Structure 1
Amino acid sequence: MDWDDLRIFLAVARAESLSGAGRRLGMDASTIGRRIARLESSVGAALFAKTPQGYALTAEGARLVAPAEAAEQGANAAAEAVGREAGLTGQLRIGAPDGCANYLLPQVARGLCAAHPGLEIQIVALPRVVNLTKREADMAVAVSPPDTGRLTVQRLTDYRLHLAAHDDYLRDAPPIRDLADLRHHRMIGYIPDMIFDRELDYLSETGVQSAAITSNSVSVQMQAIRAGAGVGIVHDFAIPFAPGVRRVLPGRVALTRSFWLIRHADDRASRRLSLLGDLLAHGLRAEVARLESQVAGPSLRRP
Structure 2
Amino acid sequence: MDIHWDDLRVFLAVARSESLSGAGRLLRIDPATVGRRMQRLEQGVGAPLFAKSPQGYALTVDGQRLMDHAERAEQAVTGAVEEIGGQAGQLTGQVRIGAPDGCANFLLPQVCAELSRNNPLLDIQIVALPRVVNLSKREADMAITVSAPATGRLTVQKITDYRLHLAASADYLGNGAPLGDLRDLRDHRVIGYIPDMIYDKELDYLAEAGIDRVAMASNSVVVQLHMIRQGGGIGIVHDFALPFAPELEKVLPDSFGLTRSFYLIRHPDDRRVERLNRVAEAVVAGLRAEVARLEDSAA
Change in Cα spacing, 1:255 to 1:266, as seen in structure 2 (3 Å) is same
**CA deviation vs aligned residue, 1:72-130 (integer Å, no higher than 9, x gap):** 12111211211221311111111111111111111111111111001111111122222
Describe the SS at the equivalent of 2:41: helix
Matched, 1:217 2:220: yes
Segment of structure 1 superposing worse, 137-146 or 168-177: 168-177
Q: Could you say if the C-alpha distance between residues 23 and 225 of structure 1 is closer, same or farther in structure 2, counting changes exceeding 3 Å?
A: farther
Q: Which runs of 5 or more residues in structure 2 are unaligned?
A: none
For 1:194, the equivalent position in structure 2 comes to 197
74, 78, 81: which is aligned to 2:80? 78
Measured after TM superposition, the shift of residue 17 of structure 1 is 2.0
Q: How far did 1:154 drift?
A: 0.7
Residue identity in the other structure for 2:80: A
Any unmatched runs of 5+ in structure 1? Answer: 297-303
Task: Give the 5 Å matches for 1:249-264.
Answer: 249-264=252-267
Could you tell me how far 1:151 is from its partner in structure 2?
1.1
Deviations 1:239-276 (A, max 9, x none): 12223112111111111111011111111222221111
Question: Deviation of residue 69 (structure 1)?
Answer: 1.3
1:151-182 superposed Cα distances (whole Å, 9 cap, x missing partner):
11111011110001112211211122211110
CA distance in 2, matches of 1:220, 1:61: 41
Query: How far apart in 1 are the matches of 2:258 and 2:26?
Result: 37
Runs of 4+ aligned residues of structure 1 deviating over 6 Å after TM superposition are none
Q: Take 1:259 and 1:216, find their aligned partners in 2: how far apart are those partners?
A: 19
Report 1:5-24 matches (<5 A): 5-24=7-26
The 1:28–1:232 alpha-carbon spacing in structure 2 relative to 1, beyond 3 Å, is farther
Per the alignment, residue 3 of structure 1 pairs with: 5
Confirm or deny that 1:98 pairs with 2:93: no
Aligned residue in 1 for 2:56: 54
**Structure 2 Cα separation of the partners of residues 101 and 275 of structure 1:** 19
Question: 1:57/1:232 Cα in 2 relative to 1: closer, same or farther (>3 Å)?
Answer: same
With normalisation by structure 2, the TM-score equals: 0.93
Structure 1 residue 44: deviation in Å?
Answer: 4.7
- Structure 1's 101 and 245: CA in aligned 2 closer, same or farther, altered over 3 A? same
Q: CA 1:248–1:9 in structure 2 vs 1: closer, same or farther (change >3 Å)?
A: same
Out of 286, 292, 296, the position equivalent to 1:293 is 296
Q: Which 10-residue stretch deviates more, 120-129 or 54-63?
A: 54-63
Q: 1:294 to 1:10 in 2, by over 3 A?
A: same
Displacement of 1:50: 2.4
- How many residue pairs were aligned? 296
The aligned residue for residue 152 of structure 1 is 155
2:273 paired with 1:273? no
State the Cα distance separating 1:28 from its structure 2 match: 5.0
Quote the RMSD (CA, aligned, Å).
1.7
TM-score normalised by the chain length of structure 1: 0.92
Residue in 1 that maps onto 2:174 = 171
SS at match of 1:92: strand
Q: Could you tell me how far apart the structure 1 residues matched to 2:171 and 2:226 are?
A: 14
Cα separation, partners in 2 of 1:43 and 1:257, compared to 1, 3 Å: same
Higher mean displacement: 287-296 or 88-97? 287-296
